[in-house]
Structures are given as structure tokens and as C-alpha cells.
């Protein structure tokens, strides 16, 4: 089985790039299941009804979010859709769900969305203790577990890898928008990469307009961010899974301009 994970969609540029790349990629690589992080798809912050509708009509099986989950009020009208996941360690009682269980090729696949706490300006529960709870809840009901860990600190993501090594099929990082070159399959068969990268404007500062971003750093003034325009890049990974053991056997990083 092959599972494709796509890095943070940024704006219409990222969404259009996904629409362009995904059909041919699924066919060429025989992709069985697709996970997309879409927390930046609506102008860089959140997701709208329009964006979700477009993704829902594509061959996308699960849509994960992050620190901009509530960036657009539209989300409350479709927050309970089976495909949509918000961080599972948000405060108890908030709308939506933190994980979903899906059927694919006779297997039950759990997709879990987590958010980090280091240098992330969102109040959340401890992702380490929360993942323990979720794994205990679902481990007897699913064959594979994939985690999108939306976190800023590389150390927090790497620590999570070691913490749940062998308990999940794969864990991949999102949020920093820069693809890392540290993909690995652990000795216990868990696939891992610190960040899968961004699908959005290529010539940008993590998706944002270059001039506006540079001005913020040079002057320390609160220059308003705006999305960059122009050509797009597509970033993500393919996790190849052994269907008998349900463990990762290979990871392929994707960077398509």
C-alpha cells in the first residue's frame, strides 16, 4: 500500500498546484490513500467552504489542520465532516475530531492530527499524553496509524518519534513549510520525517510575499503579511507500507516544481 502525504497547502496557489499534480501522481505511483494538510489554504490562514469543497471532490481521503484551524469561521459548518481533522490535543469539548478511521484495501487506517506546544501560540493539551490515550482507544480497531504532528520545534517532533516508535505506522511533521531531509524507517518499522514541506508559492518566505516578510525582519515593524504569487512547488512524501505487517518499508520524498 502507498500513502501520499502532502505538505501545508498555502493559498489558491497551493490548492491549484495540488489539483494539477495529484491525479497524475496517483496514477503514476499507484497511490492508495491521500492525506493533505490544509490549515493555510484560505489566504494563508484557515480553510473556507469553497476550499473544502474543492478538496472533497478530489481524491483526498483525510484533511488535517493545525494552529490556524479556526482561521475562517466557515469551518464550523463542515467541522464534523469525516474527512476533516483538527488537532486532537485541543481543549476537550471544542468542535470537530482529532482523528478519523478510514477503510482502504481491506485495512482500517487511523489518521491522527496533533499540534505541538513549543513556540506555538495556541493553548493545547500535552500531545504526548494525548497520543497515549488515543492509541489505547484505537489500537485494537485499526491496522495502521498515521500522525500529522503540526509543530514548530524539530526537537519536539523528533522526541515524539522516539516516544511512539513501533506503536504507529508513520509520523510526519508539518507547520514549518520547509521539507527536511531526515526521512527514515526506524528499526521498529515506523516511518518518520520532521517536516514534509509546503505546497504553495515557490518564490516566497514560507508562502508569504518576499518584500513584506523581509521588511518585518529588517524594521521590526508589524508589516502585514500577504501571500506570494507566481509559480508553485509541491512537497510531500510517499510512505510505502507492508500490508502484512502494516509497518513502513520505504519513504520517498517529493519536491515537484
Structural domains of the chain ordered from first start: 2-256 (3.60.21.10)
Q: How confident is the model at residue 222 (pLDDT cuts 50, 70, 90)?
A: confident
Quote the mean pLDDT of the chain. 96
* pLDDT value at residue 257: 86
* pLDDT value at residue 82: 97
| Dist. CA 132–CA 114, nearest whole Å | 12
* pLDDT value at residue 71: 96
Model confidence, pTM? 0.97
| Dist. CA 40–CA 58, nearest whole Å | 18
What pLDDT, in 10s, does the model give residues 157-201?
Answer: 999 999 999 999 999 999 999 999 999 999 999 999 999 999 999
Q: Catalytic positions, please?
A: 68
* Residue with the three cell numbers 514549518: 176
Q: What is the DSSP letter of 90?
A: S
Mean predicted confidence (pLDDT) in 42-49: 96
* pLDDT value at residue 223: 81
Could you tell me the three cell numbers for 17?
498546484
Mean predicted confidence (pLDDT) in 32-36: 98
| Dist. CA 218–CA 241, nearest whole Å | 46
Mean predicted confidence (pLDDT) in 27-55: 97
Amino acid at each position: 500500500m502507498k500513502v501520499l502525504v502532502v505538505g501545508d497547502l498555502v493559498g489558491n496557489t497551493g490548492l491549484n498546484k495540488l489539483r494539477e499534480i495529484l491525479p497524475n501522481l496517483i496514477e503514476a505511483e499507484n497511490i492508495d490513500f491521500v492525506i493533505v494538510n490544509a490549515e493555510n489554504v484560505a489566504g494563508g490562514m484557515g480553510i473556507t467552504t469553497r476550499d473544502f469543497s474543492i478538496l472533497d471532490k478530489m481524491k483526498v481521503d483525510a484533511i488535517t489542520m493545525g494552529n490556524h484551524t479556526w482561521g475562517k469561521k466557515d469551518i464550523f459548518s463542515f467541522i464534523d465532516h469525516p474527512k476533516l481533522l483538527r488537532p486532537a490535543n485541543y481543549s476537550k469539548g471544542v468542535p470537530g475530531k482529532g482523528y478519523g478511521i478510514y477503510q482502504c484495501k481491506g485495512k482500517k487506517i487511523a489518521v491522527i492530527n496533533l499540534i505541538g506546544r513549543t513556540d506555538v501560540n495556541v493553548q493545547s493539551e500535552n500531545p504526548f499524553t494525548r497520543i497515549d490515550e488515543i492509541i489505547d482507544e484505537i489500537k485494537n480497531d485499526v491496522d495502521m496509524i498515521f500522525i500529522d504532528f503540526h509543530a514548530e520545534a524539530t526537537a519536539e517532533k523528533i522526541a515524539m518519534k522516539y516516544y511512539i516508535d513501533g506503536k504507529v505506522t508513520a509520523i510526519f511533521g508539518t507547520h514549518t513549510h520547509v521539507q527536511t531531509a531526515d526521512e527514515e524507517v526506524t528499526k521498529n518499522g515506523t516511518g518518520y520525517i520532521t517536516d514534509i514541506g509546503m505546497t504553495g508559492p515557490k518564490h516566497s518566505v514560507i508562502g508569504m510575499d518576499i518584500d513584506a516578510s523581509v521588511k518585518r525582519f529588517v524594521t521590526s515593524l508589524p508589516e502585514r503579511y500577504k501571500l506570494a504569487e507566481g509559480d508553485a512547488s509541491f512537497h510531500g512524501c510517499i510512505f510505502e507500507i507492508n500490508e502484512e505487517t502494516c509497518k513502513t518499508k520505504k519513504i520517498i520524498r517529493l519536491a515537484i516544481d
